[in-house]
């Protein structure tokens, strides 16, 4: 018998040191919204990630039966669609998460498909699958992170004004880099771009080759420079990162990870703040780290991470240095800007209340996300059927979720699986100032009505 294509999920939460503690963690609150015998929030325990999907490390379950979602989609291929099943097999192509971040995650990158296959074959314990892991992050609360390499002129500025950074990189290599990029950034030829990437790789590799003793010495010197210069740290910083912001971050990150190379890698990376609803897309082989906040994160179904700082876990510095793209850009260029979603209809109450439906559509096939904000009472959104599966989580407010005659109440923390070819209806409940916010991750391949062409 084919199950109703609307399944409320019980989702597992992971506890890592970097997570927010107790009910401060959105991941913990959302997990607790689905009562179970084996989970209750402990106020002094960090809760980092809520996983929603079929990944074998923490698969979601049908709340009504306790059966893993993995089993349901393997037994009922129509829940995924024939096109998704043919391309990705009997599993969700994506893994949806909520991350609640209190202290910095590791400085890391995710391998592309070919490198993932090689790393998995070489060391399956450290690299548990052969898949790539492009990922997208959408802020639920104000968020801080590091994403991609800064523009070259900013890196050069820090190599000239932050003497402990210069010392770790080695003065001759720092001078060579500064001289090289200052004379070549005016051009835009492919040869210049290759030259700059090679120069950045060399200076970055030099930094990561610093010994623990060198890092301890220069960390002390860095903190002394911060105390001495205050808001004028690093000659006032750069337009994207003021001296005041930099000095606070250096102090905070050193409290979290004393004498860590990540404190110096930080000067190479873009510092970003996201307001709720703003997003980043991280392609394979892009360096990044998350610093604070609660976010929705969606990725290809993989758990491969190559780390190099802000972590007690295994660091694979050689692989990281070799795999990075060394693309540089201002942080605004790294944000993913949502567009209007054309395959949902709002009722009059939704329009009059200023409701919105936004599509976050990264340049990959495994997933896209729709964020719906329905304001006031009885605002309704009707989503056309998709030739693929969806997972819906409510992050604020309350309302109903319906597929055909099946209607269920949904509120903060509730998670639902929606099967292929099902029309979905969301409707808000609450006062005129209330917001019913949901995120709907989905996959649809070989789609004749290509979303990107219609926007």
* Catalytically active residues, by annotation: 307
Degrees, nearest 5: CA angle 30-404-93: 55
State the Cα–Cα distance between residues 420 and 302, nearest whole angstrom.
22
Tokens of 430: 């609450």
User: Residues of 166-198 as b/e, b for ≥16 C-beta within 10 angstroms?
Assistant: bbbbbeebbebbbebbeebbeeeeeeebeebbe
Q: CA 50, CA 98: separation in Å to the nearest integer?
A: 5
Angstrom distance (rounded) from CA 144 to CA 130: 30
List b or e across 37-46, with b for residues whose CB sees 16 or more CB atoms inside 10 angstroms.
eeeebeeeeb
Give the position of tokens 């301890």.
Answer: 216
| Residue 347 φ/ψ, nearest 5 degrees | -80, 175
Distance CA 5, CA 418 (A): 5
Tokens of 212: 């623990």
Backbone angles phi, psi at 47, to 5 degrees: -120, 120
What single DSSP character describes residue 362? -
């Amino acid at each position: 018998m084919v199950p109703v294509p609307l399944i409320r999920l019980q989702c597992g939460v992971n506890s890592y040191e970097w997570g927010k503690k107790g009910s401060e963690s959105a991941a913990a609150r959302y997990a607790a919204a689905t009562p179970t015998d084996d989970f209750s929030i402990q106020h002094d325990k960090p809760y980092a990630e809520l996983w929603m999907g079929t990944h074998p490390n923490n698969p979601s379950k049908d709340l009504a039966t306790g059966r893993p979602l993995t089993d349901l989609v393997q037994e009922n291929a129509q829940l995924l669609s024939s096109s998704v099943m043919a391309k990705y097999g009997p599993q969700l192509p994506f893994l949806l998460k909520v991350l609640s971040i209190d202290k910095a995650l590791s400085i890391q990158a995710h391998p592309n498909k070919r490198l993932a296959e090689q790393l998995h074959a070489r060391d399956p314990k450290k690299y548990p699958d052969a898949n790539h892991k492009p990922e997208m992050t959408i802020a639920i609360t104000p968020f801080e992170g590091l994403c991609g390499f800064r523009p070259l002129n900013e890196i050069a500025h820090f190599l000239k004004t932050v003497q402990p950074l210069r010392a770790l990189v080695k003065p001759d290599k720092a001078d060579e880099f500064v001289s090289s990029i200052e004379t070549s950034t005016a051009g835009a030829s492919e040869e210049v771009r290759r030259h700059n990437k090679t120069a950045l790789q060399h200076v970055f590799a030099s930094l990561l080759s610093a010994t623990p003793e060198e890092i301890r010495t220069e960390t002390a010197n860095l903190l002394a420079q911060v105390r001495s210069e205050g808001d004028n740290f690093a000659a006032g910083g750069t337009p994207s990162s003021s001296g005041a912001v930099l000095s606070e971050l250096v102090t905070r990150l050193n409290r979290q990870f004393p004498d860590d190379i990540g404190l110096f890698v930080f000067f190479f990376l873009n510092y970003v703040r996201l307001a709720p609803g703003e997003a980043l897309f991280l392609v394979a082989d892009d360096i990044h780290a998350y610093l604070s906040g609660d976010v929705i994160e969606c990725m290809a179904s993989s758990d491969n991470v190559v780390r190099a700082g802000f972590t007690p876990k295994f660091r694979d510095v050689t692989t990281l240095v070799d795999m990075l793209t060394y693309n540089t850009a201002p942080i605004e260029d790294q944000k993913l800007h949502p567009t209007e979603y054309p395959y949902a209809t709002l009722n009059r109450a939704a329009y009059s209340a200023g409701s919105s439906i936004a599509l976050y559509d990264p340049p990959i096939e495994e997933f896209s996300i729709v964020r719906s904000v329905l304001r006031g009472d009885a605002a309704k959104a009707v989503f056309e059927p998709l030739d693929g599966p969806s997972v819906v989580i409510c992050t604020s407010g309350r309302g109903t979720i319906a597929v055909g005659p099946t209607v269920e109440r949904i509120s903060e923390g509730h998670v639902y699986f929606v099967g292929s070819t099902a029309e979905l209806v969301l409707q808000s409940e609450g006062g005129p100032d209330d917001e019913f916010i949901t995120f709907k991750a989905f996959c649809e391949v070989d789609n004749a009505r290509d979303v990107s062409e219609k926007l």
